[in-house]
Amino acid sequence: MAEPLLTAHRITKSFGAIKATDTLSLEVHTGEIHAVIGPNGAGKTTAIGQLSGELKSDAGRIYFSGREITRLSVHKRAHLGLARSYQITSIFMNFTAEDNVAMAIQAHDGHSFKFWKPARLDPKLREPARKTLQEIGLSHRAHKMASNLSHGEQRQLELAMALATHPSLLLLDEPMAGMGPASTNRMVDLLQNLKGKTTILMVEHDMRAVFALADRITVLVYGRAIVTGTPEQIRSDPAVQLAYLGKEG
């Protein structure tokens, strides 16, 4: 098998006496959708923060695209192709959908938002922003203020902002959070269409979405990976059923 795109080797992060991640090891391979699941407090969001660079690991090493990135900043990781989408939307509500995507492109290119106003009509920003919105199914909402989009559309917009930077690995923290069934179905379809184009590591509580999307699943309990396998393997694993999926006696 080819070298993993992302490897976390025994990463640990403590908050006081609590170990949120505890010698966690994880591999993500190019082209796959890899889901991380586990009970509340299992360390899933902490792990995503460590991988993205927002949280500094207390121990362990992280490798991406063949190089160690353990001590690299969020910005430097982003330039290597590692992008994160958040559990709580982080869009600019007083700008249009197209503005938000264009700003994400501008920021990724290393420009400050203070130069945003004169750059608003820059075709190098607008054209890829429009293309990304079309790919994500939001072109008809391009000129709507983000504050006027539904919650599901805001999550789609956030995904568009991440994809517009052309990441080779996308970290998704609860992409279905707060969505109703219809919006969840749309997001599942969008992510399904990204298979093979963008490698995805996602944390998600919606088990229906996880089993519909994931090529492989890692189960976290108390900050450690207890098993990694295909959806079929995870469904039938006794340790998973006991620790997380709630096997009935």
pLDDT in tens, 40-62: 889 999 999 999 999 999 999 99
Q: Whole-model pTM?
A: 0.89
Query: Which residue, 18, 40, 61, 24, is CA-closest to 225?
Result: 24
Digit-coded pLDDT (tens) for 134-150:
999 999 999 999 999 99
User: What confidence score (pLDDT) does residue 118 get?
Assistant: 52
User: What confidence score (pLDDT) does residue 120 get?
Assistant: 60
Determine the residue type at 53: G
Give how far the C-alpha of residue 99 lies from the chain's centroid of Cα atoms, to the nearest Å. 21
User: What confidence score (pLDDT) does residue 115 get?
Assistant: 54
- Quick one: pLDDT band at residue 2, thresholds 50, 70, 90? confident
Query: Which residue, 224, 219, 222, is CA-closest to 239?
Result: 219
Chain position carrying tokens 């995870």: 234
Digit-coded pLDDT (tens) for 105-163:
887 776 545 555 555 667 888 899 999 999 999 999 999 999 999 999 999 999 999 99
Check the CA dihedral 171-92-180-189 and report its sign. negative
Task: Write down the mean pLDDT value for the chain.
Answer: 89
Helices 151-163/123-135 angle, 10° precision: 130
Structure tokens at 25: 């090891």
Burial of 113 (0-12, 13-18, 19+ CB in 10 A): exposed
| CATH fit for domain 1-81+168-249, picks 3.40.250.10, 3.40.50.300, 3.40.630.30, 3.30.200.20 | 3.40.50.300
Query: Which residue, 223, 195, 227, is CA-closest to 50?
Result: 223
Burial of 246 (0-12, 13-18, 19+ CB in 10 A): exposed
Dist. CA 79–CA 35, nearest whole Å: 23
Dist. CA 187–CA 138, nearest whole Å: 12
Query: Which residue, 90, 53, 55, is CA-closest to 68?
Result: 53
**In this structure, are residues 149 and 97 in contact, taking their beta carbons and an 8 Å threshold?**
yes
Every domain range in the chain assigned CATH 3.40.50.300: 1-81+168-249
C-alpha pair distances (Å), 202 with each of 13, 32, 80, 169, 230: 19, 11, 19, 10, 15
CB atoms within 10 A of CB 147: 12
Give the gyration radius of the chain's Cα atoms.
Answer: 18
4 secondary structure, DSSP code: P
Show contacts of 114-122: CB within 8 Å, 24+ apart: none
Dist. CA 221–CA 14, nearest whole Å: 15
Structure tokens at 64: 């991406």
Digit-coded pLDDT (tens) for 22-44:
999 999 999 999 999 998 889 99
